[in-house]
Structure 1
Amino acid sequence: MSDALINGLAGAGGGIIAQLITYPLQTVNTRQQTERDLKEQKRKLGTIAQMSQVVKQEGWGRLYGGLTPSLVGTAASQGVYYYFYQIFRNKAEATALEHKKKGVGDGSVGIFSSLVVAALAGCVNVLFTNPIWVVVTRMQTHSKSSKKSEPSHSKLISPDEVIPAAIEPPPFGTSHAIQEVYGEAGLWGFWKGVIPTLIMVSNPSMQFMLYETMLMKLKKRRVSNKKDNGVTALEVFLLGALAKLGATVLTYPLLVVKARLQAKQVTTGDKRHHYKGTLDAILKMLRYEGFYGFYKGMSTKIVQSVLAAAVLFMIKEELVKGARSVLTKKSPVTARLKPP
């Protein structure tokens, strides 16, 4: 089994576990990002209060709306990302060694090269998995209350028939979300928000650059202190959290724009709620909401993303270690060649 495949599978496994743990926070955060009315009381609620409100008004299930496609998307995203990241990383390391032979550099992959590697892997990941995340966003932002206003015009005609449907709308599943997206914009609708998402590859790029830089420094410190204890799971957890925190603060506005574009578009009524594209969304947010609009729900996102990233890094590293250990034990040739 190749090192790239091991990293890809480990990344998928770590991503799924992290997603299961932090998904309610992600649902609340997506709703905060797509909330457009500054007069709404919800914007004044804290994360816990808004979670309680969702549970009270819509039930526990709404906190996990879109979980199934989200898990598929997480497994696909992490698997694709780590697989291509390792491939690009291997090529970068080989190039660095070739340069060293020619007397250029010390043979290690620099910060800039690490940034490029992470960005390339991120772009491949975005192009493959963006349709999944559009569906997930639709399911996370769908709420029972959003359906109550739809039949209101017919209440005078047949109140007995309309009211039950308004109180308990039909289930909104993955197939419904797919049909809704396709009905609005055809196949292109599944790539809504792809431009800010492609720009957002700078987030994982910064995250991995910060993570690997801190990890490398920690390992060098251990070697210089003659400690061969390796890096513990807790240390990986903390390094992953710090790296994600720095990357999230810098790129959060792009995340909000992406969520606005992927959520259900309001084509009638207030034009402030309808975005024709990335630039239109940015200009309308600046005009009607100010800079505050770009940072809605940021505190929730920091908690969710930092926790998810930390768990992902920790589990991924442990899975990689376990897989390599199992493969090493299964290889008698490797065991014989291993020095005493």
Structure 2
Amino acid sequence: MSMSISTVPQPSRLNPAFVETAAGLSAGAAATLLLHPLDIIKTRLQVDSSSHPFINSSRTVLRDVWRNEGPTRLAALYRGLNVNLVGNSAGWALYFLLYDRAKRTIKSYRGYAPSQELTSIDYLTASTASGMLSAVLTNPIWVVKTRMLSTAATDEGAYPGLYQGVRSILQKEGVRGCFHGLSPTLIGVSHGSLYFLAYEKLNTWRRKRNVAQGKGTELSNRDTIINTSLSKLFAGTITYPHQVLRARMQAQTTPGVKYPGQPNIGLIALIKSVWRNEGAPGFYKGMFPNLLRVVPSACVTFLVYENVKWGLPQLFEAVPGP
């Protein structure tokens, strides 16, 4: 029997904000541990500014990393894992907390009944606001992560870890260096907005079907996997180019900085450069390994998130009603 995961038992001794944060933290950590090597492949392809065909690039990058980098092959495939764990765990925890708070605020502001569904505009507003705030707060982590995943540990100037990376950026590039790629990141918030809109709408549709079939309103793990996959494919395909632009800007350094990155140019100039030198396919470099990573990653993330959100309050005795 599938576990029901659609609701958190109420009332509970646990603060809802704590439940959301713990569920997001667990979800981000689980997905990162399982799929980090695909993140390395995706990042290497995104920052590659050559005009070479990339049909077999994923295999080529994997072979090069596997054979030539790191003290061991496993270490090479998991370079930057600590940074990715911090970024994804903190990012998802923060996002889910802010997203839940945003939905509650919208419901209160618009005077909705507790059981009333939010509209598409409501979901877009909540996901966009929470996405933009969490993106700004976590951007320094992603700059370090991109630079670590796009270089070998033996490259000159390569960062050994998150702390060393942030310190080096602050010393050599200033605070501004921690926010390379923020503009395409903020544009990319549309990905999360489209994803959560599709996810929430699919969940609502599935609940209605379950009710019509006499199964109640609760969703199963299978429902979550299907809805997550469809939503991620939809949002990921539409908004993918921003990831290429973000990765290249995050891999950039200011002039005179000794780091194996790319020249520092603005967003518009970068778009023109990609279009001129690589054509439309340049904006989709790494999309295949990205989809191989993000679809199962999203499934793991939301399975863990929904189950922790459902199960955590079960560990504590519910507060008796009146």
Normalised by the length of structure 1, the TM-score is 0.82
- Identify if the C-alpha distance between structure 1 residues 292 and 145 changes in structure 2 by more than 3 Å, giving closer, same or farther: farther
- Post-superposition CA distance 1:266-300 (Å, at most 9, x none): 959xxxx5242111211111111111111001001
- Identify if the C-alpha distance between structure 1 residues 266 and 289 changes in structure 2 by more than 3 Å, giving closer, same or farther: farther
Partner residue, 1:21: 34
Partner residue, 2:259: none
Q: Please say if 1:263 is aligned against 2:251.
A: yes
- Post-superposition CA distance 1:135-187 (Å, at most 9, x none): 1111101126754xxxxxxxxxxxxxxxxxxxxx9883334433443355211
Q: Please say if 1:61 is aligned against 2:70.
A: no
Q: Please say if 1:47 is aligned against 2:54.
A: no
Please, which moves more after superposition, 222-231 or 201-210? Answer: 222-231
Is the 8 Å Cα contact of residues 54 and 60 (structure 1) preserved in structure 2? Answer: no
Question: Counterparts of 1:93 and 1:179 in 2: how far apart (Å)?
Answer: 42
Query: Number of paired residues?
Result: 302
Shift of 1:62: 2.2
Partner residue, 2:3: none
- Identify if the C-alpha distance between structure 1 residues 190 and 18 changes in structure 2 by more than 3 Å, giving closer, same or farther: same
Question: Counterparts of 1:319 and 1:251 in 2: how far apart (Å)?
Answer: 29
Partner residue, 1:4: 17
Partner residue, 1:136: 145
Partner residue, 2:269: 280
- Identify if the C-alpha distance between structure 1 residues 122 and 137 changes in structure 2 by more than 3 Å, giving closer, same or farther: same
Select 2:311's aligned residue among 322, 325, 328: 322
- Identify if the C-alpha distance between structure 1 residues 187 and 306 changes in structure 2 by more than 3 Å, giving closer, same or farther: same
Partner residue, 1:212: 200
Question: Counterparts of 2:197 and 2:158 in 1: how far apart (Å)?
Answer: 46
Q: What runs of 5+ residues in structure 1 fail to find an aligned partner?
A: 148-168
- Post-superposition CA distance 1:177-223 (Å, at most 9, x none): 33443355211000111111011111111111100100011011111
Is the 8 Å Cα contact of residues 182 and 190 (structure 1) preserved in structure 2? Answer: yes
Question: Counterparts of 1:309 and 1:170 in 2: how far apart (Å)?
Answer: 29
Q: Please say if 1:308 is aligned against 2:297.
A: yes
Shift of 1:36: 1.1
From the CA coordinates, give the structure whose radius of gyration is larger: 1
AA at the equivalent of 2:141: I
Question: Counterparts of 1:189 and 1:266 in 2: how far apart (Å)?
Answer: 8
- Identify if the C-alpha distance between structure 1 residues 94 and 171 changes in structure 2 by more than 3 Å, giving closer, same or farther: closer
Whichever structure has more helix as a proportion of its residues is 1
Normalised by the length of structure 2, the TM-score is 0.86
Map 1:188-207 → 2, pairs under 5 A: 188-207=176-195
Partner residue, 1:125: 134
Is the 8 Å Cα contact of residues 45 and 57 (structure 2) preserved in structure 1? Answer: no
Identity value in percent: 27
Is the 8 Å Cα contact of residues 199 and 227 (structure 2) preserved in structure 1? Answer: yes
Query: Which structure 1 residue ranges, 4+ long, deviate > 6 Å from structure 2?
Result: none
- Identify if the C-alpha distance between structure 1 residues 171 and 276 changes in structure 2 by more than 3 Å, giving closer, same or farther: closer
Is the 8 Å Cα contact of residues 66 and 136 (structure 1) preserved in structure 2? Answer: yes
- Identify if the C-alpha distance between structure 1 residues 49 and 288 changes in structure 2 by more than 3 Å, giving closer, same or farther: closer
Select 2:160's aligned residue among 172, 186, 204: 172
Is the 8 Å Cα contact of residues 181 and 189 (structure 1) preserved in structure 2? Answer: yes
AA at the equivalent of 2:135: V
Q: Please say if 1:235 is aligned against 2:246.
A: no
- Identify if the C-alpha distance between structure 1 residues 292 and 275 changes in structure 2 by more than 3 Å, giving closer, same or farther: farther
AA at the equivalent of 2:221: A
AA at the equivalent of 2:197: M
Partner residue, 2:9: none
- Identify if the C-alpha distance between structure 1 residues 266 and 47 changes in structure 2 by more than 3 Å, giving closer, same or farther: farther
Partner residue, 2:238: 250
